[in-house]
Amino acid sequence: MAERIHITTAITYSNGPPHVGHAYEYLVTDSFVRYQRRKLGAENVTFVTGTDEHGQKNRDAAAAAGLKPKEFSDRIAALFREAHKGLNISDHIFVRTTDPVHEALVQRMLQRTYDCGDIYFKDYAGLYCVGCERFYTEKELLPGNICPTHNTRVESIKEGNYFLKLEKFRDEIVKNVRREGFIRPERYRNEALQMLSEPLDDLCISRPKARLDWGVELPFDSRYVTYVWYDAFWAYLSELPDNSSEALSEVLPVTEHFIGKDILKTHAVYWPAMLLAVGLPVYRHLNVHGFLNFGGARFSKSSGNIKDPVSFERAYGPDVLRYFLLREVTYGLDGDFSEERIVERYNSDLANDLGNLTSRVLSMAARYFQSEVTAQAGTGNDPLDGPLCEAFAATASKAGALIDDLAFNRSLEVIWQALDAANKYIVATAPFTIAKDPAQLSRVAQILANLIEGLRVVADTLAPFMPVTSAKILDLLNVDATLARAQFGQGIKPGHRVKPATPLFPRIEKPKA
């Protein structure tokens, strides 16, 4: 039986429209998904994303817009769906936490946990951040009881609520966190272990309807709705074709969560406890990325620096924003975003390196051989051919291994190293010069066969990162999906015809000062 993998983004709060910070998580996760589908087969990969629509923050945003919570959530969910379409996010399950099938799973898990005795009621006084939708302890806050994420003062709330036992599961959670590769990158595992170094306060998992009536009702007490985080976690699983406990016991051990570092505690501590409380296994990997910053501030609705991600797709063309974010940002670290850097990357990497190489190779093939490949790639005896062919032959495996390790920028560097080798090969072999001598045309044919076959490998390896561009190049090479995946030297054969060159990335001229 083929390996299965289940991949999720965070389920995004629906209190505002999508921005570039959201786009980074969607695009990096989608690239990982696309690679896994190539490796394992599309039928063995599931991909979940969606909107988290309950809770006080969403209710307040709806009130500010003069709408009922469900009406407001419908509008925001539609915006996120459109953003996914505009960003070319591949096929996925889009969960809304207001969907009946999701609410049914949440209530089922609440009831099971309650029946096991791991949810109990008590009066409680605590410090609550509306932005985070959770209670904090004083030691977790900045001086003056300031939320470290939103930089706002938390509220002091006293009320009766239901709690999930956490300390009961701490040893098992610690065991999982210590497992090699459970949390990636490594720095976040150490951070999670610090969170677990002392006894855990039990987690408040309800809100009284007298204060907040926008949520999933507790199945064992109709006066309360559940905590929005308890609700949202089950969205990773609720809309799978089979969400029975037996099926989830098979899915969770192959689950890859992609989240931002600000929700590390909820995923590394709370979510495992919720799973363990109902007898389910914990997920395989928690993949944690940093913040995307603009002008020194994190992209967020609260900061007011929202940038519509689809506008960049329209302005620069498909794949450009995706390429920039995955090449520019080291996964796990914070990254800086600017339109100036997009243009620099576009002109240097895409127009000069990739676009120009494709154009030069196809133009020479048309000029000298009427677009026909007349030699077999990788069979030349010239000492310049060997290093180039070796570089192309190793590109796919090297790039793929780095994707598995979340080193997306380094994976793209491997591809660009092959492009750099190809451009240097053209300079060293000078096919446009030696083609003037009819006796040298067989050598030119060999050079172009190596380059055309190399372009095929590059285009195929780029598919998870730049799916539209990959398809364009493969179309220019007149290569179908089966031929695209062949190893270097086993793809394009003599007699194959390529198509005329067309511009892939016209240079963007910077405005003069």
Residue 492: inside a domain, yes or no?
no
pLDDT for the residue 301: 53
Q: Are residues 406 and 36 in contact, defined by beta-carbon separation less than 8 angstroms?
A: no
What's the pLDDT tens digit per position in 419-453? 999 999 999 999 999 999 999 999 999 999 999 99
Task: Say how far apart CA 311 and CA 376 lie, in whole Å.
Answer: 44
Backbone dihedral angles phi then psi of residue 456, each to the nearest 5 degrees: -60, -45
416: helix, coil or strand?
A: helix
Residue 495: inside a domain, yes or no?
no
360 shares a domain with 270: no
pLDDT for the residue 337: 86
How far is the CA of 161 from the CAs of 95, 139, 140, 203, 291, in angstroms? 27, 22, 21, 10, 33
Residue 321: inside a domain, yes or no?
no
CA dihedral (101, 103, 109, 114) in degrees, to 10, reads -150
423 shares a domain with 302: no
Residue 331: inside a domain, yes or no?
no
pLDDT for the residue 295: 64
Residue 195 sits in a domain whose CATH number is 3.40.50.620
pLDDT for the residue 2: 56
160 shares a domain with 280: yes
pLDDT at 173 over 80: yes
416 shares a domain with 460: yes
Tokens read off for 153: 């003062």
413 shares a domain with 298: no
235: helix, coil or strand?
A: helix
Residue 498: inside a domain, yes or no?
no
pLDDT at 379 over 90: no
Percent of the chain with pLDDT over 70: 96
Per-residue pLDDT, averaged over 371-377, amounts to 97
Q: At a CB cut-off of 8 Å and minimum separation 6, what does 479 contact?
A: 456, 459, 491, 492
What separation, in Å, do the N-terminal and C-terminal C-alpha atoms of the chain show? 61
* More confident position, 123 or 2: 123
Tokens read off for 481: 């999906």
Q: Are residues 470 and 504 in contact, defined by beta-carbon separation less than 8 angstroms?
A: no
385 shares a domain with 286: no
Query: Which of the listed residues 297, 316, 335 is the one where a domain comes to its end?
Result: 316
Q: Are residues 161 and 122 in contact, defined by beta-carbon separation less than 8 angstroms?
A: yes
161: helix, coil or strand?
A: strand
pLDDT for the residue 1: 39
Per-residue pLDDT, averaged over 100-112, amounts to 98
DSSP state of 141: S
Tokens read off for 306: 């929202």
pLDDT for the residue 296: 60
Residue 327: inside a domain, yes or no?
no
In terms of residue numbers, what domain contains 115?
A: 5-316
282 shares a domain with 350: no
How many domains, in total, are found in the chain?
2
Residue 438: inside a domain, yes or no?
yes
